[in-house]
Amino acid sequence: MSDLICLSMLDAALLPSILVPESIHLTAADFSPSRRTSYMAGRALLAAWCPRRYGCPALPDMLTGPHGRPAFRDPGLPDFSISHSGDWLWLAVGEPTLGLDVEQQRPRRNLQKLMAHVLSALELAWVAAQDDELRAFYRLWTLREAVLKASGRGLAGLSRLQLFPDPYRIETDEVAAGQIQVAEAGGCSLALYQSSLTMSSDSTLGTWRWSPDLGFIPTELAWQTPWRVMATVA
């Protein structure tokens, strides 16, 4: 089972920080104020969730991959992915492998120029056919980022993804086959990649929101048609 938890950044300062190791605080001290706030909020939310689901007394030790992707040092612990945009921070926790991206749907002055630079002809045609061009662009971008965050390679792997919007399919060798669940929430586009190992006929995705008064509250998202992720077809 995997879980998806959201946090309003207005509540971030109210998260209990006692479960976050001093080493995390020292790392955050070198960041800019805005980066420090989101970094600590993500770690504190993860630290609050781990005792609930995995029985950890505090945030377990972490390591960083060659491209900066964080993971728990203990391979027996779950994978996780954190994404922050605008007023919201989201955390995905579960079995390997996960990749989460959330993007606030901010208007962009040079949207047409940007889309022409990063989208394929198929994607541009799909965006043009949608009711909301901006929302459509962010949908395609979060799909890319979800895969790249799962791979840990970031934008270095951008050219190794091909999106086919009409059949809701992504071809890439960056990650294993799986699916990406997509939704809109709080003015944001959300995309969560899950590898095939994560999914089974009885697999579920729990969705939660953290409240300063009530803790973790079950919530619901209006999931849209998921996208399939498969190996690149020669």
The predicted-structure confidence for 95-152, as pLDDT tens digits, reads as follows 889 999 999 999 988 999 999 999 999 999 999 999 999 999 999 999 999 999 999 8
Structure tokens at 127: 């965006």
- The pLDDT of residue 175: 93
Q: At what angle do helices 133-151 and 121-128 cross, to 10 degrees?
A: 140
Look at residue 206 and tell me whether its pLDDT is greater than 50: yes
Rounded-to-integer distance, Cα 192 and Cα 179, Å: 8
- The pLDDT of residue 202: 45
Which of 66-70, 164-168, 210-214 comes out lowest in average pLDDT?
A: 66-70
Please report, for the chain, the start and end positions of each structural domain, with discontinuous segments joined by +. Answer: 2-230
Structure tokens at 231: 């190996």
pLDDT in tens, 152-163: 877 666 778 999
Percent of the chain whose pLDDT exceeds 70: 95
Look at residue 201 and tell me whether its pLDDT is greater than 70: no
Taking the alpha carbons at both ends of the chain, their separation in whole angstroms is 33
Look at residue 46 and tell me whether its pLDDT is greater than 90: yes
This model's pTM is above 0.75 = yes
Per-residue pLDDT band at 1 (split at 50, 70, 90): confident
Across the range 190-218, mean pLDDT stands at: 84
Q: Give me the architecture of the 2-230 domain, per CATH.
A: Alpha-Beta Complex (3.90)
Percent of the chain whose pLDDT exceeds 90: 82
